[in-house]
Amino acid sequence: MRVGIIVMGNNVGGVEKRFAHLFSFLQSNHRTCSEFCLFIPEGLLAKLRNQRLLVSNDRNIISIFRDFPYSIYSMLPEMKVRGRRVPGTTLALLPLWRRELKRLQSSFAQFDILHFCSPNPVLLMPKGVPVLLEEPNSMSARKINPMVFNWLSKGSYISCLTESIADAYKRRISHPALLQKIFVAPCSFTDYSRISVSSKERTIVFMARMEKIKNPVVFIDAIEILSRKRSDFNALMLGSGSMDRLVDNLIVKKGLNAIMSRFYSVAPQQILSKAAVFVSLQEYDNYPSQALLEAMASGCAVIASDRGETRKLVTEDVGFCVPLSAAEIAERLDQMLDQFDRTVEMGMQAREKVLREHTIHRYAGYLLNVYEIMREREKFSRYADKRH
């Protein structure tokens, strides 16, 4: 079986890290009889190689889209004038990738399965090849991504990272045959070979894109409250985004420079290995965030916003689920610093939990089974069509 894995994006995020690691694992796993090929934009490929997330000499990596404006395309569903979508916007973008599309369609025809690892597929749906769409976007649990739903309605399959996302699609579908095309992953994973645990320090880490849905301002407010009670800790914010300037200005304005700093790191593992507490404040769901998995594997106890399916990962033995309230977060942080030995113990239990439950072997087994189900169903469908 030949499988084409298509990663569309320009930046290294959780999805890109996950599937770069998965591709490398599948390539090196000689127990599978399948052949895997990775299609990836040139800029993203360079970034993944720079972070040593992909090897540079893999013959089954095909670079695509030198300068594709992915950020603009992903905004298309939101582009409206007087409440209506802007007509012709999609067609206006077509010349930017028509030539690349023709080359890709020819390449795609050589595969038995195509797996689009993106919540926003930017190509026309390939014909004649079974398609699996990856849906890791926790926002879809509340508002279905129209691009993904369009592909699903046209016959593609979908792999959802959480039950909540899958349920959102199932509520929009009544046809039994379509319901059978929705799968739910049993776990997520990260590259644990890059992670270690060091002697724990009184360090609190917030690691995420500096965007509103990650709630960096709530974290800063919580640290400000905590700093009025004690000064025997330091706080780090790792990441960058559209709120960089706002975040940096708030740190200065609130007089937190002595105990808090923000910067971006391509290799945060060493920082996490020494940190005692990790704070994840996502708006919709923290389960199963790549940053959260990395932190737990590094032996960090957790404070997380009580949203979505977070409690499946952040259980009472590894941390606390709290409301998105700076005062409540500060209170828990104060408690964890007071009971520091217990906090370190919770971090070790967090590490054991993710190493046991969220493994690439478990996820790869699920995915290979989905590929096989898709291939068998498509064979049966073609056979039934010929009979009629």
Which of the four pLDDT bands, split at 50, 70 and 90, describes residue 29? confident
Alpha-carbon distance 244 to 136, whole Å? 25
Please give the pLDDT value at position 10.
79
Q: Are 284 and 142 in contact (CB under 8 A)?
A: yes
pLDDT digits (tens, 9 = 90+) for 309-320: 999 999 999 999
- With cut-offs at 50, 70 and 90, classify the pLDDT of residue 211: very high
Cα→Cα distances 67→39, 100, 236, 287, Å: 15, 11, 34, 32
Q: Which long-range contacts (CB under 8 A, 24 or more apart) does 178-183 make?
A: 178/152, 178/153, 181/152, 181/155, 181/156, 181/157, 182/152, 182/157, 182/158, 183/157, 183/158, 183/159, 183/366, 183/370
Note the pLDDT tens digit of each residue in 134-153: 998 888 888 887 778 888 88
**What would the pLDDT profile of 287-310 be if each residue is shown by its tens digit?**
999 999 999 999 999 999 999 999
Select from 208, 199, 359 the least CA-distant residue to 286. 208
Q: Is the pLDDT of residue 65 over 80?
A: no
Which token pair is 291?
A: 């940053």
Both structure tokens of 370 = 């989905």
Distance CA 355, CA 207 (A): 20
Contact 169, 144 (CB under 8 A): yes
Please report the domains of the chain, with CATH numbers, ordered by start residue.
2-189+359-387 (3.40.50.2000), 192-357 (3.40.50.2000)
8 A C-beta contact, residue 368 and residue 32: yes
Q: Give the bridge partners for 303, in sequence order.
A: 279, 320
**H-only helix segments in the chain:** 14-28, 42-50, 70-74, 89-108, 146-153, 163-170, 176-179, 216-229, 244-253, 269-274, 290-297, 326-338, 340-357, 360-387
Helix (H, G, I), strand (E, B) or coil at 89: helix
40 DSSP β-pair partners: 63
